[in-house]
Amino acid sequence: MSESSEPHRLPSARSAPTVPYASYLRVYEPLAAFREPERTHWADYARREARPTAQDELRRCLADLVGVPPVGVPAQESADAFTAELDGVLLVCPWRTRLRGWLALQELVAEGTGGGFPAPVLDAALPPAVRRRAAEDYARWRERHPDARPWIRTAVWQVPVRWFVLVDDEERDHVPGERLRYRTPMVQARRRLARGLRTLRRAEGHGALAEGLVEVGSWLEEFHPRSMVELDYGGLVHALPAERLAADRSAKDVALGLAALREGDAEAASETYGRLSERWRAVRERLFAN
């Protein structure tokens, strides 16, 4: 694959504060996968000189949340996207911020119901009336768009271990202070996921990771086979020490752990997975830091 084009930052983004906590799993689909008039919209969009970044999207969402009353989900769907050009083919990853907002709100409410998120804090940030209105809007929208799915998944203060199964250490792209990401063809991501899932199902004690891979695999099947998958550390590159990022080889560790399981070396697999889990546990603990 050839190098992709990088989105241009808007002038205002250069001086804006960095939002450090989110990482992303994205799918970029070829332009041909989109129907008209959306196909023409994205073709025109890709020719713009200035396009917003993931940081811009996060800042907009945070600004909505601090308003009175707070806006849990945007009133209109985003017309923005990330784009890349690979081997002369334009690839597009729509933001779909409104859809992702609804899905994130569902997850947040579920966590609160299960005791994982304090109800008083949830009510203060997003009052019940705001959540109820968003849920009603989503139900009506879902009736008209039953097959809709997001092109972007977001994780907070971590990169989920299951995401690393999709990529290879050789695909690691690290520019200190700027980015750490992996990009791989969809066919490779699906192949690695299927192989990893077979390995985990043969072993014992890895049911949770296997279930996570099944769910990610079902999501990937919704996209064009000539798509590209991107695992992006996002704002974490601004939150973690440079030396830790430089030494981070999480994709390689996952591959080593799965290889050990295939060879029947459960002890080596457990040691590798434990090292990986500890690394990301230390990152997640930053969620609770002042």
DSSP string, the chain: -PPPPPPPPPGGGTTSPP--SEEEEEEEEEGGGSPTTHHHHHHHHHT-S----HHHHHHHHHHHHTSSS--SS-SS----EEEEEETTEEEEEE--HHHHHHHHHHHHHHHHHTTSS-HHHHHHHS-HHHHHHHHHHHHHHHHH-TT---SEEEEESS--HHHHTT--GGGEEEETTTEEEEEEEHHHHHHHHHHHHHHHHHSSS-HHHHHHHHHHHHHHTTS-TT-EEEEE-TTHHHHS-HHHHHH--HHHHHHHHHHHHHTT-HHHHHHHHHHHHHHHHHHHGGGG--
Predicted confidence at residue 288, as pLDDT, reads: 60
| pLDDT at residue number 65 | 62
116 pLDDT band, cuts 50/70/90, is low
Identify the pLDDT of residue 105.
Answer: 84
Lowest-confidence segment of 103-112, 133-142, 219-228, 253-262 by average pLDDT: 103-112
**Rounded mean pLDDT of 138-153?**
91
Q: What is the pLDDT of residue 13?
A: 40
Confidence of residue 228 (pLDDT cuts 50, 70, 90): very high
Whole-number pLDDT of residue 11: 40
Task: Give residue 68's pLDDT.
Answer: 60
What average pLDDT does the segment 92-114 reach? 81
pLDDT-derived band at 20 (thresholds 50, 70, 90) equals low
Q: Which of 153-162, 216-225, 274-283 has the lowest mean pLDDT?
A: 274-283
Q: Is the pLDDT of residue 72 over 90?
A: no
* pLDDT of 70 higher than 60: yes
> Whole-prediction pTM value?
0.86
Is the per-residue pLDDT at 15 higher than 80? no
Looking at residues 262-268, what average pLDDT do you find? 93
What is the reported pLDDT for 106?
83
Q: Higher pLDDT residue, 122 or 230?
A: 230
What integer pLDDT is reported at residue 280 of this predicted model? 86
Mean pLDDT over each residue of the chain, to the nearest integer: 86
Share of the chain above pLDDT 70, in %: 85
* Span of 40-49, 130-139, 279-288 with lowest mean pLDDT: 279-288
Q: Would you state the pLDDT for residue 221?
A: 97
Alpha carbon 248 to chain centroid distance?
Answer: 18
Position 200 scores a pLDDT of 94
d(CA 104, CA 91): 25
